[in-house]
Protein backbone atom coordinates (compact mmCIF):
# COMPACT_ATOMS: atom_id res chain seq x y z
CA UNK A 1 0.00 0.00 0.00
CA UNK A 2 1.29 3.42 -0.96
CA UNK A 3 0.85 6.31 1.48
CA UNK A 4 0.85 9.95 0.43
CA UNK A 5 -0.32 13.27 1.77
CA UNK A 6 -2.48 15.92 0.20
CA UNK A 7 -2.35 19.65 0.81
CA UNK A 8 -4.39 19.33 4.00
CA UNK A 9 -1.96 16.76 5.45
CA UNK A 10 -4.66 14.15 4.98
CA UNK A 11 -3.24 10.64 4.73
CA UNK A 12 -4.22 8.93 1.49
CA UNK A 13 -3.65 5.24 0.84
CA UNK A 14 -3.62 3.72 -2.64
CA UNK A 15 -3.70 -0.06 -2.92
CA UNK A 16 -5.00 -3.07 -4.81
CA UNK A 17 -7.08 -5.85 -3.35
CA UNK A 18 -8.45 -9.10 -4.77
CA UNK A 19 -12.20 -8.94 -5.42
CA UNK A 20 -13.98 -11.73 -7.29
CA UNK A 21 -10.68 -12.88 -8.74
CA UNK A 22 -9.73 -9.40 -9.98
CA UNK A 23 -7.17 -6.96 -8.59
CA UNK A 24 -9.20 -3.84 -7.81
CA UNK A 25 -7.43 -0.52 -7.36
CA UNK A 26 -8.77 1.88 -4.75
CA UNK A 27 -7.73 4.99 -2.90
CA UNK A 28 -8.67 5.73 0.68
CA UNK A 29 -8.50 9.07 2.47
CA UNK A 30 -9.67 10.33 5.85
CA UNK A 31 -9.92 8.49 9.13
CA UNK A 32 -13.53 8.81 10.28
CA UNK A 33 -15.82 6.01 11.41
CA UNK A 34 -18.33 7.32 8.86
CA UNK A 35 -17.38 5.83 5.47
CA UNK A 36 -18.41 6.74 1.92
CA UNK A 37 -17.72 4.85 -1.29
CA UNK A 38 -17.07 7.00 -4.39
CA UNK A 39 -18.12 5.49 -7.73
CA UNK A 40 -16.65 7.13 -10.88
CA UNK A 41 -18.14 7.75 -14.30
CA UNK A 42 -17.51 6.07 -17.65
CA UNK A 43 -13.79 5.40 -18.22
CA UNK A 44 -13.14 7.16 -14.91
CA UNK A 45 -11.03 6.25 -11.90
CA UNK A 46 -10.59 7.22 -8.27
CA UNK A 47 -8.02 9.90 -9.05
CA UNK A 48 -9.41 11.30 -12.30
CA UNK A 49 -12.94 11.66 -10.92
CA UNK A 50 -12.59 12.25 -7.18
CA UNK A 51 -9.30 14.03 -6.57
CA UNK A 52 -11.03 17.08 -5.07
CA UNK A 53 -13.10 14.90 -2.74
CA UNK A 54 -10.17 12.77 -1.60
CA UNK A 55 -8.32 15.98 -0.82
CA UNK A 56 -10.98 18.05 0.91
CA UNK A 57 -14.14 16.02 1.65
CA UNK A 58 -12.29 13.24 3.45
CA UNK A 59 -11.44 14.30 7.00
CA UNK A 60 -11.04 12.96 10.55
CA UNK A 61 -14.83 12.46 10.66
CA UNK A 62 -15.27 10.91 7.21
CA UNK A 63 -13.35 8.19 5.37
CA UNK A 64 -13.62 8.08 1.59
CA UNK A 65 -12.98 4.96 -0.47
CA UNK A 66 -12.74 5.72 -4.21
CA UNK A 67 -12.28 2.82 -6.59
CA UNK A 68 -11.45 1.98 -10.20
CA UNK A 69 -14.19 -0.38 -11.49
CA UNK A 70 -13.02 -3.50 -13.36
CA UNK A 71 -11.41 -2.54 -16.66
CA UNK A 72 -11.02 1.13 -15.69
CA UNK A 73 -8.01 3.01 -14.36
CA UNK A 74 -5.56 0.71 -12.60
CA UNK A 75 -8.09 -2.14 -12.21
CA UNK A 76 -6.75 -3.77 -15.37
CA UNK A 77 -6.70 -6.51 -16.48
CA UNK A 78 -9.41 -7.44 -17.30
CA UNK A 79 -10.23 -5.29 -20.29
CA UNK A 80 -13.49 -3.44 -19.81
CA UNK A 81 -16.65 -5.07 -21.12
CA UNK A 82 -20.21 -3.70 -21.47
CA UNK A 83 -22.70 -6.57 -21.27
CA UNK A 84 -26.38 -5.73 -20.62
CA UNK A 85 -25.67 -6.11 -16.90
CA UNK A 86 -22.63 -3.85 -16.64
CA UNK A 87 -24.18 -1.35 -14.22
CA UNK A 88 -25.34 -4.15 -11.94
CA UNK A 89 -21.99 -5.89 -12.29
CA UNK A 90 -20.23 -2.75 -11.06
CA UNK A 91 -22.69 -2.40 -8.19
CA UNK A 92 -22.07 -5.97 -7.03
CA UNK A 93 -18.29 -5.63 -7.43
CA UNK A 94 -18.37 -2.43 -5.38
CA UNK A 95 -20.37 -4.15 -2.64
CA UNK A 96 -17.86 -6.99 -2.58
CA UNK A 97 -14.98 -4.50 -2.40
CA UNK A 98 -16.48 -2.81 0.66
CA UNK A 99 -17.16 -6.18 2.27
CA UNK A 100 -13.57 -7.25 1.62
CA UNK A 101 -12.29 -4.00 3.15
CA UNK A 102 -14.38 -4.72 6.25
CA UNK A 103 -17.10 -2.12 5.86
CA UNK A 104 -20.62 -3.37 6.63
CA UNK A 105 -22.39 0.01 6.45
CA UNK A 106 -21.42 2.97 4.32
CA UNK A 107 -22.68 5.89 2.25
CA UNK A 108 -22.36 5.86 -1.54
CA UNK A 109 -21.46 8.82 -3.77
CA UNK A 110 -21.99 8.13 -7.48
CA UNK A 111 -21.22 10.33 -10.46
CA UNK A 112 -22.56 9.76 -13.99
CA UNK A 113 -22.30 6.00 -14.73
CA UNK A 114 -21.23 5.58 -11.12
CA UNK A 115 -24.49 7.21 -10.06
CA UNK A 116 -26.45 4.64 -12.04
CA UNK A 117 -24.58 1.77 -10.37
CA UNK A 118 -24.89 3.52 -7.00
CA UNK A 119 -28.69 3.46 -7.28
CA UNK A 120 -28.58 -0.25 -8.07
CA UNK A 121 -26.18 -0.87 -5.18
CA UNK A 122 -28.47 0.97 -2.74
CA UNK A 123 -31.45 -1.09 -3.94
CA UNK A 124 -29.60 -4.42 -3.75
CA UNK A 125 -27.86 -3.78 -0.42
CA UNK A 126 -30.30 -1.72 1.70
CA UNK A 127 -28.75 -3.16 4.85
CA UNK A 128 -25.38 -1.66 3.88
CA UNK A 129 -26.03 1.65 2.10
CA UNK A 130 -26.98 4.29 4.67
CA UNK A 131 -27.14 7.41 2.47
CA UNK A 132 -26.90 7.99 -1.27
CA UNK A 133 -25.63 10.98 -3.27
CA UNK A 134 -25.92 10.89 -7.07
CA UNK A 135 -25.25 13.45 -9.80
CA UNK A 136 -25.02 13.23 -13.58
CA UNK A 137 -26.94 9.93 -13.44
CA UNK A 138 -29.83 8.61 -15.53
CA UNK A 139 -32.40 5.89 -14.81
CA UNK A 140 -33.17 5.29 -18.49
CA UNK A 141 -31.94 6.20 -21.98
CA UNK A 142 -34.23 8.34 -24.11
CA UNK A 143 -33.96 9.68 -27.64
CA UNK A 144 -32.20 12.85 -26.48
CA UNK A 145 -29.71 10.84 -24.45
CA UNK A 146 -28.83 8.62 -27.38
CA UNK A 147 -28.28 11.68 -29.57
CA UNK A 148 -25.90 13.11 -26.98
CA UNK A 149 -23.95 9.86 -26.77
CA UNK A 150 -23.60 9.54 -30.54
CA UNK A 151 -22.36 13.13 -30.75
CA UNK A 152 -19.49 12.14 -28.45
CA UNK A 153 -18.57 8.87 -30.16
CA UNK A 154 -15.73 10.23 -32.31
CA UNK A 155 -12.95 11.21 -29.92
CA UNK A 156 -11.16 13.00 -32.77
CA UNK A 157 -13.80 15.69 -32.36
CA UNK A 158 -13.06 16.11 -28.65
CA UNK A 159 -10.97 18.99 -27.39
CA UNK A 160 -7.40 18.16 -26.41
CA UNK A 161 -8.24 19.08 -22.83
CA UNK A 162 -11.01 16.50 -22.69
CA UNK A 163 -9.22 13.54 -24.23
CA UNK A 164 -5.63 14.07 -23.06
CA UNK A 165 -6.17 12.65 -19.54
CA UNK A 166 -7.87 9.55 -20.95
CA UNK A 167 -5.15 8.91 -23.53
CA UNK A 168 -2.51 9.40 -20.85
CA UNK A 169 -4.21 6.85 -18.60
CA UNK A 170 -5.22 4.25 -21.18
CA UNK A 171 -3.28 4.83 -24.37
CA UNK A 172 -5.17 5.92 -27.47
CA UNK A 173 -6.03 2.45 -28.81
CA UNK A 174 -7.62 1.17 -25.57
CA UNK A 175 -9.42 4.44 -24.95
CA UNK A 176 -10.81 4.67 -28.49
CA UNK A 177 -12.06 1.07 -28.63
CA UNK A 178 -13.43 1.04 -25.08
CA UNK A 179 -15.20 4.36 -25.52
CA UNK A 180 -16.91 3.08 -28.66
CA UNK A 181 -17.93 -0.04 -26.76
CA UNK A 182 -19.37 2.16 -23.98
CA UNK A 183 -21.45 4.14 -26.49
CA UNK A 184 -22.88 0.88 -27.81
CA UNK A 185 -23.40 -0.50 -24.30
CA UNK A 186 -25.22 2.51 -22.85
CA UNK A 187 -27.32 2.98 -26.00
CA UNK A 188 -28.61 -0.58 -25.70
CA UNK A 189 -30.56 0.39 -22.58
CA UNK A 190 -32.93 2.42 -24.74
CA UNK A 191 -34.70 -0.77 -25.81
CA UNK A 192 -34.99 -2.28 -22.32
CA UNK A 193 -38.21 -1.75 -20.36
CA UNK A 194 -36.37 -1.18 -17.09
CA UNK A 195 -33.99 1.21 -18.80
CA UNK A 196 -30.87 1.56 -16.70
CA UNK A 197 -32.42 1.27 -13.25
CA UNK A 198 -36.10 2.31 -13.19
CA UNK A 199 -37.10 -0.61 -10.95
CA UNK A 200 -34.15 -0.15 -8.61
CA UNK A 201 -34.86 3.58 -8.31
CA UNK A 202 -38.18 2.78 -6.64
CA UNK A 203 -36.49 0.28 -4.32
CA UNK A 204 -33.96 2.66 -2.76
CA UNK A 205 -34.78 3.04 0.93
CA UNK A 206 -32.02 5.30 2.24
CA UNK A 207 -32.09 9.11 2.31
CA UNK A 208 -30.88 10.35 -1.07
CA UNK A 209 -29.44 13.62 -2.31
CA UNK A 210 -29.79 14.16 -6.06
CA UNK A 211 -27.50 16.89 -7.39
CA UNK A 212 -27.71 18.40 -10.86
CA UNK A 213 -25.88 21.03 -12.86
CA UNK A 214 -28.36 23.19 -14.73
CA UNK A 215 -25.84 23.49 -17.60
CA UNK A 216 -25.06 19.76 -17.76
CA UNK A 217 -24.79 19.04 -21.50
CA UNK A 218 -24.72 15.26 -20.92
CA UNK A 219 -27.80 14.82 -18.72
CA UNK A 220 -31.13 16.52 -19.49
CA UNK A 221 -32.98 17.85 -16.41
CA UNK A 222 -35.68 15.19 -16.72
CA UNK A 223 -33.30 12.66 -15.17
CA UNK A 224 -32.69 14.29 -11.77
CA UNK A 225 -36.41 15.07 -11.63
CA UNK A 226 -37.15 11.38 -12.26
CA UNK A 227 -34.90 10.33 -9.39
CA UNK A 228 -36.45 12.93 -7.11
CA UNK A 229 -39.96 11.72 -7.90
CA UNK A 230 -39.31 7.98 -7.73
CA UNK A 231 -36.79 7.53 -4.91
CA UNK A 232 -39.01 7.53 -1.81
CA UNK A 233 -36.75 9.73 0.36
CA UNK A 234 -35.01 12.02 -2.11
CA UNK A 235 -34.28 15.71 -2.37
CA UNK A 236 -32.86 17.66 -5.32
CA UNK A 237 -30.19 20.37 -5.26
CA UNK A 238 -29.37 22.25 -8.47
CA UNK A 239 -26.14 24.14 -9.19
CA UNK A 240 -27.32 26.95 -11.53
CA UNK A 241 -23.95 27.22 -13.28
CA UNK A 242 -22.94 23.58 -12.85
CA UNK A 243 -22.05 21.31 -15.73
CA UNK A 244 -21.50 17.55 -15.78
CA UNK A 245 -18.34 17.82 -13.67
CA UNK A 246 -19.79 20.18 -11.09
CA UNK A 247 -18.07 18.33 -8.22
CA UNK A 248 -14.73 19.31 -9.72
CA UNK A 249 -15.36 22.91 -10.74
CA UNK A 250 -17.40 23.73 -7.62
CA UNK A 251 -15.58 21.34 -5.32
CA UNK A 252 -15.79 23.44 -2.14
CA UNK A 253 -19.53 24.06 -2.45
CA UNK A 254 -20.20 20.47 -3.49
CA UNK A 255 -18.11 19.01 -0.68
CA UNK A 256 -19.89 21.16 1.91
CA UNK A 257 -23.28 20.15 0.54
CA UNK A 258 -22.38 16.47 0.76
CA UNK A 259 -20.70 16.79 4.15
CA UNK A 260 -23.76 18.47 5.64
CA UNK A 261 -26.09 15.86 4.12
CA UNK A 262 -24.07 12.92 5.42
CA UNK A 263 -23.84 14.50 8.88
CA UNK A 264 -27.63 14.88 9.28
112 part of the active site: yes
Whole-prediction pTM: 0.95
Q: What is the pLDDT of residue 220?
A: 96
244 part of the active site: yes
Q: Which domains does the chain have, with CATH numbers?
A: 2-263 (3.40.50.1820)
Q: Give the tens place of pLDDT for each residue, 79-132.
A: 999 999 999 999 999 999 999 999 999 999 999 999 999 999 999 999 999 999
> Please, are residues 58 and 10 in contact by the beta-carbon 8 Å criterion?
yes
How far is Cα 154 from Cα 245, in angstroms, rounded to an integer? 20
Which of the residues 107, 212, 223, 244 is marked catalytic? 244
Report whether pLDDT(8) > 50: no
Cis peptide before 97 (omega within 30 of 0): no
pLDDT-based confidence at residue 7 (cuts at 50, 70, 90): very low
Which of the residues 56, 117, 216, 247 is marked catalytic? 216
Q: Give the tens place of pLDDT for each residue, 132-161.
A: 999 999 999 999 999 999 999 999 999 998
How far is Cα of residue 166 from the mean position of the Cα atoms in its chain? 16
Which of the residues 112, 113, 117, 247 is marked catalytic? 112
The CA-based diameter of the chain, rounded to the nearest angstrom, is 49
216 part of the active site: yes
Report whether pLDDT(9) > 50: no
Q: What is the pLDDT of residue 126?
A: 98
Amino acid sequence: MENKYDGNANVRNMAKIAVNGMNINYEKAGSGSSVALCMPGAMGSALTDFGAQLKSLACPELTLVAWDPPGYGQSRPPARQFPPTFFKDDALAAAELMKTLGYDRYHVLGWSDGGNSAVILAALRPQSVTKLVIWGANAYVGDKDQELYEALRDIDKWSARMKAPMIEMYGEEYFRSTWNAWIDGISAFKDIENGVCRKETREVRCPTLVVHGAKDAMVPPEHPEYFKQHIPDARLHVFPEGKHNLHMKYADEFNKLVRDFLAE
